[in-house]
Amino acid sequence: MAKTRRTDAPITVDGRARAVIENVRPEVDNGRYPIKRTVGEAVTVEADVFVDGHDKLASLLLYRRDDEREWAEVPMAPLGNDRWSASFRVTEAGRYRYTVIAWVDHFQSWRHELTRRPDTDPDLKMVFLTGAELVTRAAANITGRDAERLGAIARTLSGSATVVEKRRVALSEEIAELMNRHAERRFVTRYEKEWMIEVDRERARFSSWYEFFPRSCDSDKHGSFRDCEARLRYVASMGFDVVYLPPVHPIGRSFRKGPNNTLTAKPDDVGSPWAIGAKDGGHKSVHPELGTLEDFRWFVATAGELDLEVALDIAYQCSPDHPYVKQHPEWFRRRSDGSVQYAENPPKKYQDIYPFDFECESWQELWRELKSVMEFWIGEGVRIFRVDNPHTKPFLFWEWVIGEIKRTHPDVLFLSEAFTRPKVMHRLSKLGFTCSYTYFTWRNTKRELTDYFTELTRAEGREYFRSHVWPNTPDILNEYLQFGGRPAFMVRLVLAATLAASYGIYGPAFELAETQAREPGSEEYLDSEKYQLRRWDLDRPDSLRDFIARVNRIRRDNPALQGDRDLRFHAVDNDKLICYSKTAEDLSDIVLVVVNLDPHHRQSGWVELPLDMLGVKDEQPYQMHDLLTGSRFIWNGTRNYVELDPQTSPAHIFRLRRRVRTEHDFDYYM
């Protein structure tokens, strides 16, 4: 043999850690961002785990809260094709991390080989001795009952017992359990990464929002917080849990917009709440006509008594009258003539709005000030922010400010109002926004809804992008609502409230089915509340108030509707009818929704269901209980008939009741 050449290159790995761990999922962007869950939800982790040769592996999922040191362990189980899986539940808001370890389990390998050795194998005696050695080594590390049991097993394997007896002991459940607990973990491979989880309180996943303008809550004059008590009761009676207010700060005078966004406001025009800042103060002040800071506190407390949480609008922009403009001129961009650069999207000019210049020299001071705005309102009891146009401020700012806030207040939630390009919306969700507005507002056909919600609930984004869906907003009155009449509002309400666990409406325009756009082709409301006070007749007999209350009640009663991960669409042989189901994790609650998307005509068709997925046996009839109307239908098999008249009820929200009673259920049968 030729003389071995030696090199001095040091070997830097632990070469005996033979197990390989790859492709640990879920994760977001190589771990750059955490996946998201809410308190109580399961995290199911999968990984490719394998080893060279034929040895058997043991693998554990490790997880812990970010601020704890001890890892909890869950055994991974093989799914086939070298894919393994395990689950755990997150129990507190905040950050968690997880990773996977694996090692060659020589005892399992030995046991597996033993099952394949015939009794005639001449080496069998030696094989049992090898087993005894493995058991003895495991026993060496412990004391007590388990050590005794392992000792006894080792003696049997190495002693004079029959092959049959040794085989019985070697393959027993007891030895498997004991060795699982105590066998040496040698040469452990650890996945190179730890992935993160951002855990929020439950409302991040399941919430029903109602947006309204407090200034329009009084029928005679500019409403104030104190005037809103009846309105809050009204909102609570419909089963909402979040009231979201447009900005509550002093409104600028310079370039104030008049009704219908006209350029010249009259002195008594109220202006847009998004033109923030006046001599009375800026982002940390309350508009005098709404009341005082104390009135705001009263409003938050009153809402709280009705189980309503207040969400505040955060719009980081200034009217020319904002105190910042004088106190911090360095935070704004200058034009060549020295004047402050207003917002512009040529040829449009927005002279009533000064954007911050995030590229200014004192950007760090600006960031800290903007953060202090949120901290101020957190101090006033607010825990939800609806952030206006986050896609026009730097991503790094949001990542920093949300991270800082959540570090001390993990219960604060952020809704991103970014109606923009998909990758921008996704980035905002990745970097920290709890949930995001969606394109739902413009998805009306069966194809559009199916494609979009399949993407939202099945594509990669499901790990970090939580949808918040709105049939209308003060900015958007979609043509489907403009032309579909009252049934269209019912359709869109049911879709929003059952396709997504989090949804909201802008009222009372919604429940009163306001359909007037400013002009043909526009999605702006005529006489929009953004620029003027509006009077609403909440008691109109055609109000959808009761219908909305029923839908929200159904949402509260059915866990299936409180999450989005298990949404599935089902075939109907009529393109005007859409059908989908949502299920609770354990199939204890199954909700099937059928909606007639045609607000004008009665539609009928045959629904096709994957019964096995819903836990129904093929030959067994099952009851469909329509929670909207109370009607019950007996269905059987995979194909069943539905018919929906928009003038009566444009939708079924069925709860599937799996068993239909038969003669066996009655006493007199026996």
- Single residue of 39, 65, 82, 190 touching its own copies by CB under 8 A: 82
Contact 24, 99 (CB under 8 A): yes
Q: Nearer Cβ to its own copies, position 126 or 571?
A: 126
The reply to whether 281 sits near its own copies by the rule CB under 8 A is: yes
Instruction: Tell me whether strands 242-245 and 309-314 are parallel, antiparallel or unpaired.
Output: parallel
Residue 114's identity, in one-letter code, is L
The reply to whether 164 sits near its own copies by the rule CB under 8 A is: no
Q: Is the peptide bond before 508 cis (omega within 30 degrees of 0)?
A: yes
Q: State the nearest-atom distance from the C-beta of 652 to its own copies, in Å.
A: 37
Contact 228, 299 (CB under 8 A): yes
Q: Catalytic site residue 321?
A: no
Instruction: Tell me whether strands 467-468 and 435-437 are parallel, antiparallel or unpaired.
Output: parallel
Contacting its own copies within 191-230 (CB under 8 A): 192-193
- Compute φ and ψ for 113, nearest 5 degrees: -65, -35
- Single residue of 88, 350, 400, 419 touching its own copies by CB under 8 A: 400
Q: State the nearest-atom distance from the C-beta of 364 to its own copies, in Å.
A: 5
Tokens of 116: 């394949």
- Single residue of 7, 143, 160, 648 touching its own copies by CB under 8 A: 7
List the catalytic residue out of 241, 321, 417, 511: 417
Residue 605's identity, in one-letter code, is G
Q: Nearer Cβ to its own copies, position 18 or 625?
A: 18
The reply to whether 397 sits near its own copies by the rule CB under 8 A is: yes
The reply to whether 85 sits near its own copies by the rule CB under 8 A is: no
Site string for its own copies, 346-385 (x = CB under 8 A): xx----------xx---xx--xxx-xx--xx---------
Nearest residue to 394 via CA among 365, 422, 349, 428 = 428
The reply to whether 330 sits near its own copies by the rule CB under 8 A is: no
Cα dihedral: 15, 70, 85, 168 (round 10): 80
CA atoms of 429 and 466, how far apart (whole Å): 8
Contact 321, 253 (CB under 8 A): yes
The reply to whether 11 sits near its own copies by the rule CB under 8 A is: yes
Binding window for its own copies (CB under 8 A); candidates: 140-148, 149-157, 209-217, 399-407? 399-407
β-partners of residue 571 are: 608
Q: How many residues bind its own copies (CB under 8 A)?
A: 83
Site string for its own copies, 623-662 (x = CB under 8 A): ----------------------------------------
List the catalytic residue out of 198, 388, 463, 514: 388
- Single residue of 219, 262, 327, 522 touching its own copies by CB under 8 A: 327
The reply to whether 143 sits near its own copies by the rule CB under 8 A is: no
The reply to whether 392 sits near its own copies by the rule CB under 8 A is: yes
Q: Catalytic site residue 119?
A: no
Residue 173, C-beta contacts closer than 8 angstroms, at least 6 positions apart:
none
Binding window for its own copies (CB under 8 A); candidates: 84-92, 147-155, 278-286, 450-458? 278-286
Q: Is 254 exposed, middle or buried (0-12, 13-18, 19+ CB in 10 A)?
A: middle
Contact 200, 413 (CB under 8 A): yes
Q: Which residue has the tokens 């129990």?
A: 91
Binding window for its own copies (CB under 8 A); candidates: 11-19, 312-320, 530-538, 585-593? 11-19
The reply to whether 171 sits near its own copies by the rule CB under 8 A is: no
Contact 433, 414 (CB under 8 A): yes
- Compute φ and ψ for 103, nearest 5 degrees: -155, 160
CA atoms of 574 and 594, how far apart (whole Å): 11
Binding window for its own copies (CB under 8 A); candidates: 17-25, 172-180, 225-233, 597-605? 17-25
Q: State the nearest-atom distance from the C-beta of 115 to its own copies, in Å.
A: 8
Contacting its own copies within 49-78 (CB under 8 A): 50, 52-54
- Compute φ and ψ for 99, nearest 5 degrees: -155, 180
Cα dihedral: 427, 32, 373, 299 (round 10): 70
The reply to whether 344 sits near its own copies by the rule CB under 8 A is: yes
> In angstroms, what is the C-alpha Rg of the chain?
32
Contacting its own copies within 420-459 (CB under 8 A): 421-424, 427
Q: Which residues are catalytic?
A: 388, 417
